Amino acid sequence: MTQLALATLLTLTTLAADETAVPLNQRQARPSPEWLTGGVMYQIQPRAFTPEGTLAAAAARLPKLAKLGVDIVYLCPVFVSDDDMNLDHWSPRQKKSGMNNPRNPYRMKDYYHVDPEYGTDADLKAFIGEAHRLGMRVLLDMVYLHCGPKAVFLEEHPDFIQRDEAGNIVYAQWNFPKLNLANPQLREYLWKNMEYWVAEFGADGFRCDVSDGLPLDFWETARERLEKIRPDIGMLAEGRRREDQLKAFDLDYGWGFKWDNAAAFRKQWETMHAERPRGGAKFIRFIDNHDIANDAYDNRVEKAWGTRHVDAALALMFTLDGVPFIYNGQEVADTAKHSIYARLPVDWAAGDAPTGKARFAFCRQLCKLRHTEPALTQGEVVWLDNDAPEAVLSFLRRTSDEAILSVVSLSKEAKQVKIQLPQSTTKPGLDVLLADEAQVGDTPGSLALKLGGFGYYVAKLRSN
């Protein structure tokens, strides 16, 4: 090695060491595309989204999502799933479902083709094209921790999955063969898979299943390669790894929030914000998704919580930082059984009932607010103390020239609450943006509100 090469290597090693020595919360997260961080995300679980369960049928419903105000469609896996009938290779909840269906959408057989259940490769291209025509982006769901026991690459590449010293397959958490990410050929195969869906089909990004189960450098390289094809690629991690927004991901799942206890909710937010890189505490905000709906089955969130509680949670999701996430059917207060293992569709007729109509109008109003009020996508979160901290959340979304107050009760009981305001806003004028059973009082230095059970109040502050 030449002296120059050695000096360069030592410099790079020193820089890397210096960087990792800096506490994570003092390092800077990667910048993210505005279409992702400023959007509204909607999850389509194909077996639930339409009675037909196909991409063509889903594409026909996309105009309704555009009308709602959705910007980003996250599509559950539509690639060829494994049809192996050996129950030893089924996940526990797959067996528990009683559907007797081997085709688990999260147990891949072929990463490069659409499962005939959902249509054809051309149907996926048409789906993405229709979404783009309507002004929406599409994230595809990639499952790279494991594969099915009959994956198409195993005959030619038996070393694409992990094996023990005796050559026996190593299984991941759900009884599926675990992919061998130590194999550079497999990594290349998977990176090219992602590039294929972006370059040939126009995918705008990916939701990465169980992302923490894969080495972070795999995702970092994937990001670098994808950005050469699409500089504004979007990456959502189904994970909790604190450093993944430094280079690889834009968003993580916001697991762990208590939607029935305001003090615990605020504490969780503050903890997650403090332990992440600067500008890297970016999460999707959700109360339902394909996993939650699948496991709740006969006691979906809408039934378990009730309409008012769900409405309050939606008001919070759309006014807090992060990206609000709507699960298919949530916009019509759907209560039908869902399963990722069988075709159990949304009860779209619920949208014609008073509750469904009200929910659709409410979600549409929330989407409009997010699109018209810059503070809701760009403003910092400033928590405001109140005298009912176990029940009520109160905070500002504040930019240099705008502030929006959000107050949400997570209690079924009516509450009278006094909210402490910053000194600079001791006597604000309030332009109400969104309110439910809220009455406003006038007290110096604070704001007095009377909220109904699961009530909410959102208003823009005016300087008097």
pLDDT in tens, 42-54: 999 999 999 999 9
Find the mean pLDDT for residues 10-15.
47
Q: What would the mean pLDDT of 192-204 be, rounded to a whole number?
A: 98
* pLDDT higher than 90, residue 338: yes
Paired residues of 171 in beta bridges: 177
- How many angstroms from the chain centroid is the CA of residue 405? 24
How many whole angstroms separate alpha carbon 367 and alpha carbon 265? 23
User: CB neighbours (10 Å) of residue 258?
Assistant: 13
Exposure string of 292-323, with b = 16+ CB inside 10 Å and e = fewer, is ebbebeeebbbeebebbbbbbbbbbbbbbbbb
Q: Could you give all domains of the chain from N- to C-terminal order, each with its CATH number?
A: 27-372 (3.20.20.80), 380-462 (2.60.40.1180)
pLDDT in tens, 417-442: 999 988 665 556 789 999 987 777 76
Please check whether residue 168 is in contact with residue 143, taking contact to mean a CB–CB distance below 8 angstroms: no
Q: What is the pLDDT of residue 21?
A: 82
Residue 7 has pLDDT above 80, yes or no: no
For the residues 399-422, what does the mean pLDDT come to?
94
Tell me the CB-side half-sphere exposure of residue 316, using CA atoms within 13 A: 27
Q: What is the pLDDT of residue 439?
A: 75
Tell me the three state secondary structure of residue 289: coil
Least confident of 170-174, 245-249, 424-428, 450-454: 424-428
pLDDT digits (tens, 9 = 90+) for 241-278: 999 999 999 999 999 999 999 999 999 999 999 999 99
Range with the lowest mean pLDDT among 19-23, 30-34, 271-275, 283-287? 19-23
What is the structure's pLDDT at 428?
A: 64
* Summary mean pLDDT of the chain: 93
pLDDT higher than 70, residue 37: yes
Strand, coil or helix: 417 = strand
Is there a contact between 150 and 157 (Cβ–Cβ < 8 Å)?
no
In sequence order, which residues have a C-beta less than 8 Å from that of residue 16 and are 6 or more positions away?
none
Q: What is the pLDDT of residues 214-235, one digit of tens each?
A: 999 999 999 999 999 999 999 9
Q: Which one has a higher pLDDT value, 80 or 441?
A: 80
Read off the pLDDT of residues 89-132 as tens digits, 9 standing for 90 and up. 999 999 999 999 999 999 999 999 999 999 999 999 999 999 99
As a whole-number percent, the residues of the chain with pLDDT over 70 amount to 93
Amino acid at 456: Y
- Of residues 5 and 228, which shows the higher confidence score? 228
Query: How many CA atoms within 13 Å lie on the side-chain side of 243?
Result: 11
